[in-house]
Every structure is written in structure tokens, then in C-alpha cells.
Structure 1
Amino acid sequence: MRILRAADYRVMPWKNGGGTTTEIAVSPNGAGLDEFDWRVSIARVKGSGPFSSFAGIDRTLSVLEGDGIVLDVADRPAVRLTPASAPFAFPADLPTSATLIAGPITDLNVMTRRGRALHTVERLAISQPVDIATRAGSALILCHKGEAVFPEAGSIRLGPLDTLLVGPETPILKVKPARDMTLFVVRIATAA
């Protein structure tokens, strides 16, 4: 179990040079954009335009802040994502463009390399203690809003945008909100 503080995240340029992303975690540790098995990051999107293409990568996008974004992924119907939308999964190697709804947004971006890793992303609004099933593999619990306390894990506290990285040794984790909060639970498993 490892605490990842928002102040320590690594900022790096987008693959297409159109902005910057804040990397929360990557595996293997220190892997570049062409080498990772999985990667979790936050990006500030200031303008409409094409997404970077990542060959062999599956991606899930969630809007954290702002009015939202409309994604056009290849020949599929356009998808409107807002902070209230469920996380949206799509292949990162399909041509994708985005149109901002009304100004910049901040998004959570989860990517896994096909054949090496699989992922799911869940948004949880919590106002009372709950158990989070982390399942086999790794899980990242991102505190989006509010403050999270993990009483059975040494009373670890996460503030906004802090993350708890949990391995398979912790299949269930109790979380208690210090006040109403929103969490994102990213579950990552090795591909069969």
C-alpha cells in the first residue's frame, strides 16, 4: 500500500504536444509513453481538437472539473461526458477528437496496454463508511472531492486528488468520509 500525494505527481507534455498531463502512477515504474503496461493521469484540456493516438492501448476517460466534453471516436456516435457521467472506455488507437462544451475541463485518464493489462474505473459518491473491493491486481483510489480516511490502514487520510495505491494483498478496504466525498476506484489486472 502506498500513498501518492497530488503535490508529488509528475507533469509531462502530451504525446501530441497540445498540452500537459499530470501522471499519478505508471507501471512499470518510470515507464515512458511507449513502454507502460498501465498509466493513470490527470489532464487539463484547454481547447477542442484531436486526441493523441496510442497503438494497442485501451483508455477510460472521466471528467473531473468543467462543463464537459463531446468525444467523437472513429465511426461511433458522439459521446457527451460531464462530471456527472459514468467513466467512458474506448480504444486509444482509434481516431478520436474532442469538442469542449463550454470552456476548459480537467479529466482523469486511465490507459492499459492490450494483452498485458485490463482496467475498470468506477466513480463513487460516499457520505458514510463503505467497503471497497479492490479485487485481484492493483487498485488506485483517487480522492476527487472531500477527504477520505482509511481507519483499518493506519488511519491514512487522502485530500483532494491524493491517491492510495493498493496491491492484491488488500482485497477489501474500508473507507470513511471525513465529509461527503467522491472517489474514483481504478482496478487493474494482468491480462490472461
Structure 2
Amino acid sequence: MEIIRFADIHPEPWRNGGGVTRELASHPKAASAQDGAWDWRVSIADVSKAGDFSNFPGMERVITIIDGELMLLTVDGAEHPLEKYRPFRFSGEATSSATLPTGDIRDLNVIARAGAFKGYTSIIEISKKRAHPVFEGQLAILLEGKATVAPGAEDSTEDPDDAGPGSSEPATEPLELSRYDAVVGSDVRSPEILGRGFVAVISIDHVGPAHA
């Protein structure tokens, strides 16, 4: 079970220097958030002033406000009011800029190479009574509230002798999530999240050729 701890991620400047971003995951893994050598990337950005967004030719973007109330996003001359927890999809090639009528915001960005990958963002309310599984090809990010994550039940067809060496922690030990921590999905004992609050579930689907 893999958890990406938000507190361990160093902020990097945007391509155009207009803000900072923290990369949660990318593929292939890039040396820098600025080099664009990846086919998809999931990141969280802080926006504290009005201005232009960076361009990402050949990419498609899904942006979601996760802290703050409102951002006015202008894409190729058309203005779109983006409210908290409402994902918005647009072309990375578009000329885009933002104003902040209600103050600073933080947004979740999913950027994927058009024709190769398709990114999706869903905002889900979690429960203490019913665990939410995180499957292969997904990231689940705690946006607010309190939650824990633990490996799901073992496949009944799996031979326990084939499990390999374990970690120092019991396999079923729940781990507490902090705000913006990301759980990496798996189809082997898919991680399960329990708690109260909201998570963003990011799905990355492979739809065509990509970088080798």
C-alpha cells in the first residue's frame, strides 16, 4: 500500500512563474514539474494572484478548486466561474487566465496527453461505515475531514505463502491520512478509505500511444 504524503512534496514554480505547484504523481516520472516530459501529471497548485496559466500543448486539463470558493477562469476569451469541488475540463493549448474574486484558492490539476491518456476527477463523500476502495489506475486524495486507509481483503485464491516478506507494520493496520495525502490504487488488496469528509478520486485511462 502506497501513500504519497503531501507534507513531503516540495513546491515548484509554474512554467510561467505565476504560482507554485506540488506534483503528486506523473508518468513517466519527470525530473522537474516544468520539463513536461510526462504523459500525465496530477498536482496541487496555489493561486494567490490573478494572471495567466501556463500552456501545455498537446495536453488536456481537468482543474478542480479544492480550497477557496471561486475562481473566474477565462479560456480562449470565454469566462467560466469555477466553484469549489466542481471539476472543469479544457485544452492545455488554450490561452487561459484567472481572477480571484473571493481571494486565494488552491486547485487540483490533472493534465494528460490528448489521444494517449484521459484523466477524470470525481469528488466523493466518504463514510465511516462503508469503505471506499482505490483501484489500479486511481489516486484518492483527502480534501477535508479525517480518514484512515488500510489494505483491502486478500484475494481468497492467493496462497499466503506467496505473499513475500511483509513490512514492519501489520498488513491490516489502518494508517491516518493528513489533508491532501494521496492513496495510490491497486488491484491487489485495493486500499480502502474510511472516515468523514471528502476525497478526490483521480482516474487515468490509457486510450492510445504514449511515450515508451
Query: What residue identity is the alignment partner of 2:114?
Result: R
Residue 175 of structure 2 is aligned to residue 156 of structure 1: yes
Q: Deviations over 1:50-96 (max 9, x none)?
A: 111100111111111122101111154x221122x421111111111
Residue 134 of structure 1: how far off its partner (Å) = 4.6
Q: Larger Cα Rg: Structure 1 or Structure 2? A: 2
Instruction: Give TM-score scaled by structure 2 length.
Output: 0.79
Counterpart position of 2:193: 175
Aligned positions of 1:20-31 closer than 5 A: 20-31=20-31
Counterpart position of 1:66: 68
Identify the structure with the greater strand proportion: 1
Query: What residue identity is the alignment partner of 2:13?
Result: P
5+ residue gaps in structure 1? none
Counterpart position of 1:36: 38
Aligned positions of 1:32-181 closer than 5 A: 32=32, 33-76=35-78, 78-83=79-84, 85-132=85-132, 134=134, 137-153=136-152, 154=172, 155-169=174-188, 173-177=191-195, 180-181=196-197
Equivalents in 1 of 2:122, 2:6: separation in Å?
20
The 8 Å contact of residues 130 and 174 in structure 1, kept in 2 or not, is answered as no
Residue 156 of structure 1: how far off its partner (Å) = 3.1
5+ residue gaps in structure 2? 153-171
Residue 149 of structure 1: how far off its partner (Å) = 1.8
Equivalents in 1 of 2:133, 2:6: separation in Å?
23
Residue 114 of structure 1: how far off its partner (Å) = 1.4
Query: What residue identity is the alignment partner of 1:183?
Result: V
Identical-residue share of aligned pairs (%):
31
Number of residue pairs the alignment of both structures matches? 186
The 8 Å contact of residues 143 and 197 in structure 2, kept in 1 or not, is answered as yes
Query: What residue identity is the alignment partner of 2:74?
Result: D
Instruction: Give TM-score scaled by structure 1 length.
Output: 0.87
Query: What residue identity is the alignment partner of 2:116?
Result: R
Equivalents in 1 of 2:111, 2:51: separation in Å?
20
